[in-house]
Amino acid sequence: MSPRPLPPSQGSFEAFVDLARDGQHLQALDKLARALNEQPLHAQVRGAAVEALGRISRMAEAAGDVGAATRALEAALEIAPRYADVHYQLARLQVQARQLPAARKSLGAALRINANYVAARVELALLDAREGLLGEAIEALRRLDLGRAPHEPRLFHRGIQSLEHADWQEAETLLRQALHLDEPGLSERLDEVHARMSRGDRSGAARLIRETLGEHPSYVDLHCLLGVAELEEGHFDDAIATLAHALELHPDYHVARVHLARALEASGDLVQAEEQVALVLESDPQNPQALELSQRWERWHRRRGRSTAASRKAS
């Protein structure tokens, strides 16, 4: 007779995760479910249980046990139906199992909870592509707001080009690589970076970015974010070097070039700053950030010209 599982202390489910780590996925799920039935589902317990079930699901999936992986996520949704990430992960498993209508339903649930969930929108677009709706898929991908999503622009554009040539399998690989969809934890770290920036903790954001860059040195958005943090901290030379490196990785990255122009202006090099903005406007004449800087500088030049002319008249 198996020992009765003890209720997890302080919301810890590590013993059940250890079972899954040993390959006993179903046993881990059964014992975790019994433990949950023996205690109130406070918010802390619910969150810890969902996190443990997600880890068990990933272990089962890695071992090829898609059934146990799916069951773990379904159990997580029973206790926390408003977790968009769990709906998204379930959709990924349903796609693997060729349960495409179910996957579409799960992705719809994730997007109802979080309409800006980039990964879910990409999966939905890929689902459309698999079903022959290439035009719809390409349009959906082009409409994505990738401002806060971890991505590598060159790979992303190559993925869209593959879709345009009806090669959705290559497109799927490229888009997953571009958006780091198979790298759990990266999106969460980027969210934490933005949260620290918004509350003024720029040095903390910069430290976190540098840690992440150690694992993803070619991720151009991280270099751009680091440059912005350095600029806002007043470290203008560091910001210029960081943003210049971002542009070495991706010369057409207009956001990084506009921030480089701001850093150059802050360091006193307005000529170089204006040259950087001109490069952006040459490629994208309606770029709002570049236009704002260009128009501000034009007003400054006019005022300076009038002031110079007035001085000459007075003399």
Which of 107, 106, 127, 129 has the alpha carbon at shortest distance from 117?
107
Q: Is the pLDDT of residue 148 over 60?
A: no
**Lowest mean pLDDT, pick from 65-74, 86-95, 133-142:** 133-142
pLDDT higher at 3 or 127: 127
Question: Looking at the domain assignment, is residue 261 inside a domain?
Answer: yes
199: number of Cβ within 10 Å: 10
Question: Looking at the domain assignment, is residue 14 inside a domain?
Answer: no
DSSP state of 97: T
Supply the range of the domain harboring residue 192.
187-314
Instruction: Look at the alpha carbons of 106, 44, 31, 40 in this order and tell me if their dihedral is positive or negative.
Output: negative
One-letter amino acid for residue 297 of the chain: W
Question: Looking at the domain assignment, is residue 74 inside a domain?
Answer: no
pLDDT per residue over 237-281, tens digit each? 999 999 999 888 778 788 889 999 999 999 999 999 999 999 999
Distance (Å) of CA 275 to CA 26, 133, 146, 176, 243: 62, 42, 26, 35, 15
Domain at 274, CATH number? 1.25.40.10
- Asked whether the whole model's pTM tops 0.85, one would answer no
Q: Is the pLDDT of residue 229 over 70?
A: yes
Interatomic CA distance for residues 191 and 114, integer angstroms = 14
Q: Is the pLDDT of residue 309 over 70?
A: no
Query: Can you state the percent helix, strand and coil of the chain, rounding each to 5?
Result: 75, 0, 25
pLDDT per residue over 8-23, tens digit each? 433 467 888 888 888 8
What is the average pLDDT score of the chain?
A: 82
What percent of the chain has pLDDT above 70? 86
Could you tell me the pLDDT band of residue 185, with boundaries at 50, 70 and 90? low
Q: What pLDDT, on a 0 to 100 scale, did the predictor assign at position 275?
A: 95
Name the 3-class secondary structure at 203. helix
Interatomic CA distance for residues 255 and 247, integer angstroms = 10
Interatomic CA distance for residues 234 and 194, integer angstroms = 18
Taking a C-beta distance cutoff of 8 angstroms, is the pair 260, 276 a contact?
A: yes
Burial class (CB in 10 A: 0-12, 13-18, 19+), 94: buried
Instruction: Look at the alpha carbons of 127, 133, 137, 143 in this order and tell me if their dihedral is positive or negative.
Output: negative
Q: Where are the alpha helices (DSSP H) in the chain?
A: 14-21, 25-37, 43-62, 66-79, 84-96, 100-113, 118-130, 134-142, 153-164, 168-179, 186-198, 202-215, 220-232, 236-249, 254-266, 270-283, 288-314
275: number of Cβ within 10 Å: 12
Question: Looking at the domain assignment, is residue 275 inside a domain?
Answer: yes
Provide the number of structural domains found in the chain.
1
Average pLDDT over residues 36-50: 74
Question: Looking at the domain assignment, is residue 15 inside a domain?
Answer: no
Question: Looking at the domain assignment, is residue 5 inside a domain?
Answer: no
Question: Looking at the domain assignment, is residue 115 inside a domain?
Answer: no
Question: Looking at the domain assignment, is residue 207 inside a domain?
Answer: yes
